[in-house]
């Protein structure tokens, strides 16, 4: 698996670990699409009682818009009104004609989604919700590691 850059945010690290937990094994569009769809589907099911389907739609849409600053193909992500995009839709978005890997694109989308969720409900509650679905991934995570300045999306050319 590709290594994260040394300046990766805690949300980026968490996103990558969630993809691994859902079966990401190699840098192929199929592998990352399957894992990305599984993460989004499980997130949707867990978050729907807390923020509703509309809240999930808004967070995912915002993550795609913001992530498109780095990976323009995220601007083409269809945002369904109820539920996450399908594996096929994610596959089309994770195929980058400019050479970025599907893993980079998926990590960006999930990290931004998690950062916006953490900002909305707080990282303490975010990690509690995620721990119910991915206990092994979340076990060693501390909400203090996800302060606002380090968890919000950063982009090339922006100051940290």
* Residue 99 binned pLDDT confidence (cut-offs 50, 70, 90): low
Comparing 64 with 3, which gets the higher pLDDT? 64
pLDDT in tens, 39-83: 999 999 999 999 988 889 899 999 999 988 888 888 888 888 777
Alpha helices in the chain (DSSP H): 10-21, 29-67, 87-94, 102-121, 123-133, 135-138, 148-151
* Whole-angstrom distance, CA of residue 112 vs CA of residue 118: 10
Tokens representing 42 are 């499980």
The DSSP secondary-structure symbol of 28 reads S
The DSSP secondary-structure symbol of 156 reads T
Cβ atoms of 19 and 110 within 8 Å: the answer is yes
Whether residue 141 has pLDDT greater than 70:
yes
* Residue 136 binned pLDDT confidence (cut-offs 50, 70, 90): very high
pLDDT in tens, 16-38: 999 999 988 776 778 888 888 89
Whether residue 113 has pLDDT greater than 60:
yes
Comparing 111 with 145, which gets the higher pLDDT? 111
Does the predicted model carry a pTM greater than 0.75?
yes
- Segments making up each domain of the chain, as ranges: 10-151
Cβ atoms of 9 and 145 within 8 Å: the answer is no
* Residue 151 binned pLDDT confidence (cut-offs 50, 70, 90): low
């Amino acid at each position: 698996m590709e290594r994260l850059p040394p300046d990766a945010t805690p949300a980026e690290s968490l996103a990558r670990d969630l993809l691994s937990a859902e079966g990401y094994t190699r840098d192929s569009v199929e592998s990352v699409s399957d894992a990305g769809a599984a993460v989004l589907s499980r997130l949707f099911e867990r978050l729907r009682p807390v923020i509703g389907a509309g809240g999930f739609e808004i967070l995912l849409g915002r993550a795609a818009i913001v992530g498109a600053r780095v990976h323009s193909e995220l601007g083409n992500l269809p945002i369904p009104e109820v539920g996450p995009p399908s594996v096929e839709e994610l596959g089309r978005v994770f195929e980058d004609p400019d050479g970025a890997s599907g893993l980079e694109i998926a990590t960006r989308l999930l990290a931004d989604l998690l950062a916006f969720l953490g900002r909305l409900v707080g990282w303490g509650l975010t990690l509690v919700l995620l721990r119910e679905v991915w206990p092994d991934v979340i076990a060693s995570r501390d909400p203090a590691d996800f302060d606002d300045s380090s968890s919000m999306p950063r982009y090339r050319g922006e100051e940290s």
